[in-house]
Homo-oligomer: A and B are copies of this chain.
Amino acid sequence: MKAIGIILAAGNSKRMRELTAKRATAAMPMCGTYRAIDYVLTNMAYSHVQSVAVLTQYNSRTLSEHLNSSRWWDFGRKQGGLFVYHPTITPDNSSWYRGTLDSMCQNIHFLKNSHEPYVIIASGDGIYRLDYNKVLDYHIEKRADITLVTADMQPWEDSTRFGQVKTDENGRVLDFEEKPMREESREVNTGVYVIRRRLLIEILENCMEEDRYDLVRDVIIRYRHVKRIFAYHLDTYWSSISSAESYYRTNLDFLRKEVRDVFYHGDETVLTKPNDFPPAKYNYGCSVKNSLVASGTIINGTVENSLIFKKSYIGNGTVIKNSVILNDVYIADHSYIENCIVESHNTLYANSNYVGEPDKVRIVVENNDRYIL
């Protein structure tokens, strides 16, 4: 592959509420078995990108531990593979990253020491499947300076929190509006870019001199008339984990066969750091409908339209509906959970009752002591 990859995973969104109190968005558990960043890493691996840098800063510990061996994503190479870069104090600089652009500026050595002619920049919280080679081919064919990938938002998503793109019939970007006041289109910027490596270095060096720190505002929007920026449209499933609601809805989307089919075919699946948990155990009296249940789980009660992540326990007579139960949750008998996200490692006592609303998911975080199992 003629490109290296950069994954932007340093930021935080307040709209994730309590969910990012203990890890970065890119480290959010997803779909029973994965973490959010696995999706973009899988895209990088299946596109045969040989060298990928993950830039991280906010609440990075869980993410670092998840990424501490590059082999899980087939990046295990003697030289290179997967690099995780954190803020560091150098003789020249002692600032934290001040924005997406600054995080790349502070790690410009990664770009300078590479040999590949192109760079793929992607954010760490996008859930989609894309062969970046197709975008690169498009980029070259259009003789673009920058190619950005657009996609249609999910029906439940609010487009005014994304960047909207207006293109001519050739795909060239005419205008770009970040978080517009009103929705013009369902097609938004996914935060995936292709750019020549030398051009990116040049842009970064200019921006460093001018104290510019934000990739979208200071590059995409600012250069939109002076550079040839093109849009490549991704026409399969795309979602971005940017709020508790979008996190919840994206997980539930995986109950739909047509969404799962985007990510799994035959031996091709989503790459992740795996575990050795035993298969899920279903006891007498349990009932599971339209749900995903990960390994290591024990189910006694009723589960409907929900995702049960790894190593959870659902008690007798307990009912889980339209909910996302993260890893290692213990829910005792005769509880009722609906429209909730239950944070990982929680213990809910017997006869608990937690109900959210379809449009306003409830996040359950209890610090109860775990029963001795």
Binding site for B on A (CB under 8 A): 12, 21, 31-33, 48, 56-61, 64-65, 68-72, 74, 76-79, 81-91, 94, 96, 107, 109, 254-255, 260, 263-264, 267, 269-272, 274-296, 303, 307-309
Check if B274 sits within 8 Å of A292, measured CB to CB.
Answer: no
Check if A87 sits within 8 Å of B86, measured CB to CB.
Answer: yes
- Please tell me how many copies of the chain the complex holds: 4
Given A88-B61, A89-B96, A279-B260 contact (CB < 8 Å): no
In Å, the complex CA distance between A255 and B309 comes to: 21
In Å, the complex CA distance between A201 and B293 comes to: 37
Check if A68 sits within 8 Å of B71, measured CB to CB.
Answer: no
In Å, the complex CA distance between A307 and B282 comes to: 10
Q: Smallest CB–CB gap between A288 and chain B, Å?
A: 4
Check if B85 sits within 8 Å of A68, measured CB to CB.
Answer: no
Check if A292 sits within 8 Å of B284, measured CB to CB.
Answer: no
Known contacts A59-B88, A68-B81, A68-B84; 9 additional CB pairs below 8 A are A12-B89, A57-B88, A58-B88, A64-B86, A278-B292, A280-B292, A281-B292, A283-B289, A288-B288
Check if A59 sits within 8 Å of B90, measured CB to CB.
Answer: yes
Check if B275 sits within 8 Å of A270, measured CB to CB.
Answer: no
CB closest residue in chain B, given A291: B282
In Å, the complex CA distance between A47 and B59 comes to: 32
Q: Smallest CB–CB gap between A328 and chain B, Å?
A: 10
B64, B276, B296, B303: the one within 8 Å of A84 (CB): B64
**Please, which residues of chain B bring their CB within 8 A of the CB of A281?**
255, 260, 291-292
Q: Smallest CB–CB gap between A162 and chain B, Å?
A: 24
**Please, which residues of chain B bring their CB within 8 A of the CB of A83?**
64-65, 68
**Please, which residues of chain B bring their CB within 8 A of the CB of A12?**
89
**Please, which residues of chain B bring their CB within 8 A of the CB of A276?**
33, 78, 269-272, 274
In Å, the complex CA distance between A65 and B80 comes to: 8
Q: Smallest CB–CB gap between A264 and chain B, Å?
A: 6
Of the A-B pairs whose beta carbons lie under 8 Å apart in the complex, a sample of 8, sorted by A's number, is: A33-B277, A71-B78, A76-B77, A86-B88, A270-B278, A279-B294, A283-B289, A286-B289
Q: Smallest CB–CB gap between A90 and chain B, Å?
A: 5
